[in-house]
Amino acid sequence: MPELPEVETIVRDLRPLLIERHFTHLTLSDQALRQPWQPEWSAQVLGGAIQSIRRRGKWMILNLASGRRLVVHLGMTGQLTVTSSALPLEDHTHLVFTLDGGLEQLRYRDIRRFGGITLYADEATTEAFLNDTLGPEPFDLNPATFQHGVQATARCLKAVLLDQHIVAGVGNIYADESLHTACLHPSQLGRATTSAECVRLQSAIVEVLTRAIERRGSSIRNYVGGSGLRGGYQEEFRAYGRTGQPCPRCDTAIEVVRLAGRSSHYCPRCQRTAS
């Protein structure tokens, strides 16, 4: 999916387009999403203004004046965009929220249907769900908490970074990029990782995500921002998707290995497992 930088970009794009606006109409596709939209929600989202929009991990939360929350996850191929109502609906568009005035729509499109939109009744139930699902945000991660999360497990670092309870928002791309920046091998075990390496890894995560947000995220295939613009961070990849190409640090060919069910790209020379 869109990982943290992509979701952050979408949230920033959508804010000026959606704040103080409200939905007047909603249409659904006949294909079920992983988290199916419940029929009774349709009437509940109409009429009340959108007061704020924020990101938590890879999730987006739209606060409605009624107190209800629209909670969005994009799965692997989700797109949430505001477009002119006059534009034809693209294939795989599953929810269309028409905005007041009727000229624009908020559209949720998701080819693989791994994502979805859920309506929560109030702030308390929304926060309970998010805090149960997610660990801390990378930008306010307590170093001791992170170190404990890494060192307490027998999983490899790649799996640790993909675990949303350890740090929220990192996915396959930014896990590979962070490990490369930190000079750590993706298959190194969490419990074999030193405290100094944890510090290095944490700074690498922050550095990589910050730069990726500046570039509006990475567009590999389906990702677009809230206004349909693509991202540019894919031009700065050091490891992800660069199998056989030279490591920008040492020129060694990048290799790929399958870990935690995901392809993991790394430099065999400058990302050596600690011995």
Partner DNA sequence: ACAGGATCCTGGGGGC
Partner DNA sequence: TGCCCCCAGGATCCTG
CA dist., res. 3 & res. 107, Å (int) = 19
Cβ closest to DNA, residue 112 vs residue 272: 112
Cβ closest to DNA, residue 24 vs residue 125: 125
Single out the catalytic residue among 15, 262, 268, 269: 262
**CA atoms lying within 13 Å on the CB side of residue 166:** 25
CA dist., res. 61 & res. 78, Å (int) = 15
Cβ closest to DNA, residue 75 vs residue 105: 75
Shortest Å distance, C-beta 1 to DNA:
3
- Strand 255-259 relative to strand 262-266, pairing: antiparallel
Catalytic annotation on 138? Answer: no
| Sites of contact with DNA (CB under 7 A) | 1-3, 6, 31, 34, 57-58, 73, 75-76, 91-92, 111-114, 133, 153-156, 159, 162, 164, 171-173, 217-223, 231, 260-263
Would you tell me how many other CB atoms lie within 10 Å of the CB of residue 36? 12
Catalytic annotation on 2? Answer: yes
Catalytic annotation on 90? Answer: no
CA dist., res. 197 & res. 201, Å (int) = 6
Catalytic annotation on 158? Answer: no
Phi, psi of 193 (to 5 degrees): -95, 130
Cβ closest to DNA, residue 62 vs residue 173: 173
Single out the catalytic residue among 55, 56, 58, 107: 58
So which residues are the catalytic ones?
Answer: 2-3, 58, 262
